[in-house]
Homo-oligomer: A and B are copies of this chain.
Amino acid sequence: MAMNGVLRPGHAALRVLDLEEAVNFYGNVLGLQETGRDKQWRVYFKAWDERDHNSVVIREADKAGIDFFAFKVDGKKTLEKLDADLRAYGVSTERIPAGEMLETGERVRFQVPSGHMIELYAEKKDVGNGISYVNPDPWSAASEKGIAPTRLDHCLLYGPDIEKVQKLFEEVLGFYLVEHIVLEDNKTDLAIWLSTSIKAHDIAFVRHPEPGKLHHVAFLLDSWERVLRAADLMSMNHVSIDIGPTRHGVTRGTTIYAFDPSGNRFETFCGGYQTYPDHQPLKWTMDEVGTGIFYHDRKLNDRFLSVVT
């Protein structure tokens, strides 16, 4: 519960194969709002109900995938402290100056043992959610343009040494384990779901030989009916659906996995229980792993463990 001052996922920086195709997808199909473009040709988006300037940043590259994933912390003092804590823990950190990303303050970047670049930052411009902060309506027309998730929610990353990742997130950043899948040896985790809040996950990892891979970035929807609407819009727009609508056993969330035009998997999901650090983590065993991931099918599809970017 943000015991160490880490608030929430703040931005995901994704690589896409064709920028304008991706701009159309993220803007018109997924229904994020474009908030700016910078001199590096990066395009910035936010979900309609997010107040900060950006949560998804895309750039064109030869290979799809994720450049970095960032968390907002609760102030500059926390940022300094966590940077010091990371270095004391033995993690090299890099400072990215304020303004390197549009409307975003200084960032502390570091690599975790799974090979992913993680960032912390304390400041991003509040550009509003399109609804007045005085006497607000509950939603606006923007919530019905495209799939229109309310916000970036979490990501699932694939890479090695996830027990070291977990230790770092727990001991330095204050996250806690919510659910895990344990391999047949009954001690090695195949997958871990970590929270810095009362959300069932703020970030998750799956053990994988190749470092730095992206399984999916997830966006939150308000209801199971919005999940249906999302699936309908995917079909109308010929988005490639991986699986769904269905339910996860892990987190209980209802979900669709699909692919952006570059092959990056994304999730639009609803629900998941609320959890607390005093809750005993939920454990999945390999004989029920299919049920844990896809509760209705009770088995994994081939793509789940193999297709990453």
Contact = CB atoms under 8 A, between A and B. Distances in A.
A283 B2 contact: no
Contacts of A150: 273
Nearest to A1: B2
Interface residues of A, number: 63
Interface in A17-72: 49, 51, 72
Contacts of A235: 137, 291, 295-296, 298
Contact of A197 (B138, B197, B232): B197
A3 B225 contact: no
A149 interface: no
Contacts of A274: 199
A135 B224 CA distance: 23
A264 interface: no
A259 interface: no
Contact of A291 (B1, B74, B135, B285): B135
Contacts of A296: 231-232, 234-235, 241, 244-245, 256
Contacts of A113: none
Interface in A209-225: 222-225
Nearest to A253: B138
Given A134-B285, A249-B136, A74 B278 contact: yes
A199 B246 CA distance: 26
Interface string A121-134: 00000100000011
Given A135-B291, A223-B224, A247 B232 contact: yes
A201 to B, nearest CB: 13
A271 B296 CA distance: 21
A277 interface: yes
B280 A133 contact: yes
Interface in A250-271: 252, 254, 256, 271
Contact of A1 (B74, B232, B256, B284): B74
B1 A197 contact: yes
A305 to B, nearest CB: 18
Nearest to A4: B3
Nearest to A251: B138
A101 B137 CA distance: 40
A91 B177 CA distance: 35
12 contacts: A1-B74, A3-B5, A133-B282, A135-B283, A137-B232, A138-B249, A138-B295, A224-B224, A231-B247, A231-B296, A235-B295, A235-B296
Given A2-B2, A228-B254, 4 more contacts: A1-B1, A222-B271, A223-B223, A224-B224
- 9 nearest interchain CB pairs? A1-B2, A135-B288, A138-B252, A231-B296, A225-B225, A134-B283, A197-B198, A144-B144, A7-B276
